[in-house]
Structure 1
Amino acid sequence: MEKRITLHIVDGNMRSRAEQARTAFALGHHAEVYDDLDELLAHPPKSGVLVVRQRTLDQSLSDLLDRLGEYGIWLPVIVCAPEPLLERVVQAIKQGALDYLQLPLEANQLSRSLSTVMREARSHSAARRRLIHARGKVASLSRREREVLEWLSEGSSNKLIARELAISPRTVEIHRANMMTKLGAGHAAEAVRMWIEARLEHSITLPDLTIEEARRDFAGERDRHERMAALRRLAKQA
């Protein structure tokens, strides 16, 4: 039996979010509903799947993920809309959505999506949590400590860093030692890894499909689910 999942449904349309919740309950899952993102973020959930209607994203999806990240939270996101437009699907997927569905949600459509999303979320969540952890650590550094770390990530020696920052090598050593302590890094390579992870953006895994093939798939599909699948493939190639 499929694991019971809590869906956090964000939709300003009361009827629409009620329909989505009923679909989730019919599949044996649980649903929490929110009128907007402010209501969601007032008490951010720590587990489950976000199902967010496109028009509630007054800011970008990456902004929402960053705001959740401030609480040390990452959740898989499904974006939905009554009429998915290619440019919106492209934007959502590139900003971190794991799927994009058409409203109203159909039970089979949602079930297939959740199976895919939960499978992909295992790898995405590990990477995202590393990013959140690294950004939190790097944010604790002073401006000078970040500069030392940035030069260190370029392979620069203490003497070269001192020359570039117009400070003494001894001062570089002090900043470097403080930086390592704040990061909790045991060696320079670990500090550099955290710097790289902190600067990563949301990413997607591109399928082995050319954009021409994806466009043909989308144009040729008549089944609603298959058309949406083709649209998502096309979005990931755009």
Structure 2
Amino acid sequence: MTRTIYIVDDDDAVRASLHSLLSVRADLVIRSYRSGDAFLAEAKELDSGVLLLDFHMPGASGLDVLHTLDGNGTFVPIILTGQGNVGLAVQAMKAGALDFIEKPYEADQLMQVVDGAFARLEADTDAAARVDQASAKIARLSPRETDVLKGLIEGRSNKVIAYELDISPRTVEIYRANLMEKLEVRSLSEALRVAFAAGLFPKD
């Protein structure tokens, strides 16, 4: 699996150093930007990846970039900060950065943090895929089947659901069988997991 990492730093030497260090990984695609503004200009068109983001840059600062991205899930940002700027780095983490690395950085520490960021990105991607898959299944249901599913989620019996929807219990059973087939599940608990994963109904 190819992984993409974006280096955003106005210091040519830092970008070159990071590029050289990261190039030892054959599975990494590395792209560099000299400013936050340059990165943001392309951000919407970029593949998901890990973002090594300098805190202090002319134009859009690292914090500005984070606020603009606003936790969109496409990028996992890591802040690069000078020594003594830990307070600012913490501020950046509150704005969505996963971690921060003080300059000058240790190569092993950097790679460890980068690996952690990719693990986070891949976990988020898998979770998003599960949500999309569940949402697609829920979209197959008719309005009546959705009503029956909602009744089941709320713990109602077939008879109570039938009464509330003004249909027969036998009809509820038919809707229930149909929705189970459309959701590709064999049990009520599996159907509930699909519904919750899709965000169809709140868990509390």
1:42 aligns with 2:52: no
Which runs of at least 4 in structure 1 moved beyond 6 Å after TM superposition? Answer: none
Closer, same or farther in 2 for the Cα pair 1:8/1:111, shift >3 Å? Answer: closer
Uncovered stretches (5+) of structure 1, i.e. residues with no partner: 69-75, 201-238
Deviation at 1:140, TM superposition (A): 4.4
Higher relative contact order (CA 8 A, sep 6+): 1
User: Equivalents in 2 of 1:118, 1:145: separation in Å?
Assistant: 39
Q: How many residue pairs are counted as aligned between the two chains?
A: 176
Residue pair 1:148, 1:161 contacting (<8 A) in 2 also: yes
Uncovered stretches (5+) of structure 2, i.e. residues with no partner: 54-62
Map Cα deviations across residues 121-156 of structure 1 (whole Å, 9 max, x no partner).
676665554334323433444554334323322332
Map Cα deviations across residues 182-203 of structure 1 (whole Å, 9 max, x no partner).
3222332211111223339xxx
Provide the residue aligned with 1:145 in structure 2: 145
Aligned to 1:111, the other structure's residue is in SS state helix
Closer, same or farther in 2 for the Cα pair 1:137/1:24, shift >3 Å? Answer: farther
Residue pair 1:20, 1:105 contacting (<8 A) in 2 also: no
Deviation at 1:23, TM superposition (A): 0.7
Provide the residue aligned with 1:101 in structure 2: 100
Question: Cα RMSD between the aligned structures?
Answer: 4.1
Residue pair 2:79, 2:92 contacting (<8 A) in 1 also: no
Higher Cα radius of gyration: 2
Residue pair 2:141, 2:182 contacting (<8 A) in 1 also: yes
Provide the residue aligned with 1:78 in structure 2: 77
User: Equivalents in 1 of 2:45, 2:120: separation in Å?
Assistant: 27
Deviation at 1:40, TM superposition (A): 4.3
Aligned to 1:23, the other structure's residue is in SS state helix
Residue pair 1:141, 1:179 contacting (<8 A) in 2 also: yes
What TM-score do you get using the length of structure 1 for normalisation? 0.52
User: Which of 45, 55, 62 is residue 64 of structure 2 equivalent to?
Assistant: 55
What TM-score do you get using the length of structure 2 for normalisation? 0.59
1:9 aligns with 2:9: no
1:89 aligns with 2:93: yes
User: Equivalents in 2 of 1:107, 1:50: separation in Å?
Assistant: 18
